[in-house]
Amino acid sequence: DIKPSTRVGISPRDTRAKMPVCGVPDNLYVGRQYTSVGDLRSMLKEASAAKFDFVVVDLFKRPDTIPSDGKYTLQPSTVSDLALDSKTWSSAVIGNLSDWIQMETPAQQSYGLQALEQELSWASHLGVYGIVLPPPTSQCELYAAALSRIGLSSICTTQLMVRIPLLRQEDGVEVDGWNSWNQLRLLCDQNPRLQVCLEFSADLPETDQELMRWLGEPVRSVIIPSDAFLTNKQGFPVLSKRHKAFLMQLFRNKVQVILQGLPENVKETETEKYLHYVARLFQSRPAPTAQETFEQPYHDYLQAPLQPLQDNLESQTYETFEKDPVKYVQYEEAIHRCLQDKLAAGKKQLVAMVVGAGRGPLVVAVRSAAVRAGADVKIWAVEKNPNAVVTLRHRCVVEDWRNVEVIEKDMRFWDAPRKADLIVSELLGSFADNELSPECLDGAQRFLEPDGACIPSKYTSFLTPVTTHKLWNDVKNYNDLAHFETAYVVKFHQAFYPTSQIEKCFEFSHPNWELTSNDRYAQIEFTSEVDALVHGFAGYFHCELYAGLSVSINPESYSEGMFSWFPIYFPLRTPVNLKSGQKLTSHWWRCSNDRKVWYEWAVTAPTPQPIHNPGGRSYSVGK
């Protein structure tokens, strides 16, 4: 069941006086990075007076040379853990590990491994809120191995963030930070404890796609160096349009901001200019719409798709769907147009069959449309859920539904006394047919007039590749194959789509007089527009109701304001690493037997993978 979580609103910056880096996730938290560590208490007092929430400091002094015996001796910059009490260490300090640590030669490896192990141990001993690891180089295999053995093991329990510059120079060549991060996280088996501290650069990657890629990654903090700022005509620091737009996108993922390279030993007002600018950007975000407020608790939360044929829905689920401000307006208008067409064709008394009537929203839509069209309509409200039937019968009495007859039957097996002119249903799932709308309507259409209509009349599923580090790790955490062979309903949030292609998968039309098979197969090819790691596929639907009216969660034709459906997520057991311009070939099957319907999916290019969910062994929808 969907369990909404509690979210807390944004607090104005000027009301904050403390430095709680572990605070409310919807607030903005800004830290200041210092280049040298003197009196840490005085530093914290200064930062707090300037309304920074935390400080970022180098925890260690840099050794002059590698000693002849090759042994590393720890040199903490704060001398002792007594510099602060444990509460302050854990709530107001993020520590940098030494950025000189290299592991490209055997000598560097031995010395660097000692340094990394001792520094992680000391930082963990201090209990700092977070540890910032040095950035990886292009040859990061030894670094990744050391991290996997030490940092990502049980030895260190503190939050780990690896510093990743958006762009950097390596041996005179410009290196894209995302590729460095991708190599490191793949070598570390995409460990969810390894997060990103993303460092802005004065110059940004050429394309917006290269920036937006980071929205699907576990970016915990953003470093903005002072040289990334421009100075406006009034002499205040500002970011360029692209820097600003990218930061506003990252705010959606609740990142912390670290200001680096601010002038030291100057008046507080000089440093506050940078902080106030970032705070104003954060507060300039538009207020969330009603739909965004509704969706927020479900961001990146795996949910099992409903199985209304197999299970009876609960009252809370019905209530949630009935609040949709768009769907039933569209349905009523579609029904109205259909009734007008029937009247124009000379029909007198009409019969409408609402199949899967639930608690009655479609019954209300039919009744309202009939009044508007001036049509005499008899309505059969067919519902198999005995609990929903109680509500339907109650509404018949208290709302005077004289033209409504409630039928407590499964629509596939009820024998209607006469044929209907119209069948209305809302049996769609996130992937169009995944709640068995085709099977249900095929069973009900035997009581539809030859010139009868179905609303909806056609629906199509769509797919696109998705990068979603968080969701893939959530599936991985189940530690079994079955969860990688299951489809999930998800409100994607921390996600990136490496191609603008959203391709058609399966299509169904009603009525289906030939009763052709509802099994399907599709081969779909995508071309990546940027280097990316694909964790699976996002699925959508577009549904044609009647006469040009539709409801859709396909981003290309989305019904604005509608929240009855979230997309569906098909994970991949092994994520696919793609280069810009490389093709991704996928295969999709909709299969069935007497008891169930299931999907199978596979990738065959750039490298073949096993077919997911063969025979419906892990995931299916019961008939």
The closest of 120, 608, 610 to 600, measured between CA atoms, is 610
d(CA 588, CA 610): 13
Tokens, residue 438: 């085709």
Q: Within a 10 A sphere around the Cβ of 255, how many other Cβ atoms?
A: 20
411 is in an annotated binding site: yes
H-helix segments, 58-172: 86-92, 106-126, 141-146
In this structure, the chain runs to a length of: 623
Q: Give the active site residues.
A: 426, 435
d(CA 401, CA 499): 50
Q: What angle do CA 610, 614, 617 make, to 5 degrees?
A: 125
Q: What angle do CA 275, 278, 284 make, to 5 degrees?
A: 135
d(CA 229, CA 275): 12
410 is in an annotated binding site: yes
The closest of 225, 234, 288 to 493, measured between CA atoms, is 288
Contact 212, 496 (CB under 8 A): yes
Contact 300, 468 (CB under 8 A): yes
328 is in an annotated binding site: yes
Longest pairwise C-alpha distance within the chain: 101
318 is in an annotated binding site: yes
d(CA 557, CA 541): 10
DSSP-derived 3-state class of residue 198: strand
Which residues, other chains included, contact 68 with Cβ-Cβ below 8 Å and sequence gap of 6+? none
d(CA 247, CA 242): 9
Q: At what angle do helices 361-373 and 327-344 cross, to 10 degrees?
A: 40
Tokens, residue 424: 């209305």
Tokens, residue 87: 């509460």
Which residues, other chains included, contact 402 with Cβ-Cβ below 8 Å and sequence gap of 6+? none
d(CA 220, CA 131): 11
b/e code 214-244 from CB counts within 10 Å (16+ = b): bbbbbbbbbbbbeebbeeeeeeebbbeeebe
Contact 459, 373 (CB under 8 A): no
d(CA 222, CA 465): 26
Q: Residues forming the annotated binding site?
A: 318, 327-328, 383, 410-411
Q: Residues forming the annotated binding site for S-adenosyl-L-methionine?
A: 318, 327-328, 383, 410-411
